[in-house]
Homo-oligomer: A and B are copies of this chain.
Amino acid sequence: MLVQKYVDMLSQKSVIRTLSEFATARGKEIGYENVFDYTLGNPSVPVPDSVNETMIQLLRTKSSMEVHGYSPSLGITSVREKIAASLNKRFDMNYTADHIFMASGAAGALAHAFRLVTQPGDEVITFAPFFPEYHPYVDLTGAVLKVVPANVEDFQINFEAFTEMINEKTMAVLINTPNNPSGVVYSSKTLERLAQILTDKSKEYGHIIYLISDEPYREIVFTGVESPYVSKYYANTISCYSFSKSLSLPGERIGYVAVNPACEDAKKMVVMCGQISRGIGHNCPASLSQLAVAENLDVTADISVYETNKNLLYRELKELGFTCVEPGGTFYIFPKALEEDAKVFCEKALKYDLVLVPADSFGCPGYFRMSYCIDTEKVERSLEAIRKFVKENY
């Protein structure tokens, strides 16, 4: 018998994917360049040339065993060393290779983090608006994801609702800053307050509440915005990183878990990740990708495009009267719809070939997300469509 919970999931089609498929289909009718597809977080800027050149160099000069051989189960040691050194230099931390576990993207990293510290029935708290995949990521482990309602003022944390929700079953708190979908970066003040609550509640409940920090957008921060390194604020932090966005190589599936050295049993947690892998069929990222990113830790793809796009969209949306918090990073913007039901709003936008994503599944009804990791030229052309849509409907 096929396992019913997965059969059931087949009928719950992701809104993002449905809209993305609509955009592709519409593109076949009128030319994809004429569809203003703001659905997917698929980086549009190319991978830095140095990454491709490193890969070619590895393929040309290294032995087959070095490039294509098994990676040790925690990752290639030299790669883990380089990542630790890079984090230490940038964020004044004191990681060693023993605190780093190589994972297949942030999804792989999170899969290990949840299994390290939660058992079926335990609770993980996250904050709206949030990446909808957190639900299957957590719920399919047997733990339960609980969502704190959004602080729509500035999309920092709604601490009042959080302190009401946290309880003895809370084993981990999951944050994502810079945030998908709001684009907001959590401030030092937010992180300090969060850390204080976690410290107090850990003591009160007699068990550590871990902070799981999902950081795929860490490098995509706009001019003048301070983006604090989460792990500096709370010792029991498990950072989950992906190179997908910063290096524009989401298809290579490479990231890592970095456990704060001040976390109790930090090194043990990393070797435990190697055991967790055995149960979920996970293996290290491709050796070739590991070796290639290790030589490119100080570069990023040309992510300045995202800031240009953000400026264009933010200015236009504000001029049109949208309520919208200015993104501090990522390639998302998260305005309030011009009518109560964002699904209806986004449905109407489709007539203008504007493909926007209603935010109900992000835990924030009434809002919508635009992923502007697309060409600036297309963003510019879309502004007229946005103006027309708003003027004719609101």
Contacts and interface: CB of A to CB of B under 8 A. Distances in A.
A30 B346 CA distance: 71
A132 to B, nearest CB: 10
A3 B116 contact: yes
Indicate how many identical chains form the complex: 2
A129 interface: no
Contacts of A109: 281
B68 A250 contact: yes
Given A108-B281, A137-B279, A280-B282, A69 B251 contact: yes
A9 B275 contact: yes
Contact of A268 (B7, B46, B104, B288): B7
B141 A279 contact: yes
A376 interface: no
A3 B119 contact: yes
Contact of A275 (B6, B281, B289): B6
A269 B2 contact: yes
B283 A286 contact: no
A307 to B, nearest CB: 20
Interface stretch (A53-61, A191-199, A384-392): A53-61
22 contacts: A2-B268, A6-B115, A7-B268, A9-B272, A46-B63, A47-B68, A52-B59, A56-B56, A56-B59, A64-B249, A68-B250, A69-B250, A104-B104, A104-B253, A107-B281, A107-B282, A108-B283, A112-B281, A136-B275, A137-B278, A251-B288, A280-B281
Interface of A: 1-3, 6-7, 9-10, 42-47, 52, 55-56, 59-60, 63-65, 67-71, 103-105, 107-112, 115-119, 133, 136-137, 139-141, 171, 207-208, 248-253, 265, 268-269, 271-272, 275-276, 278-289
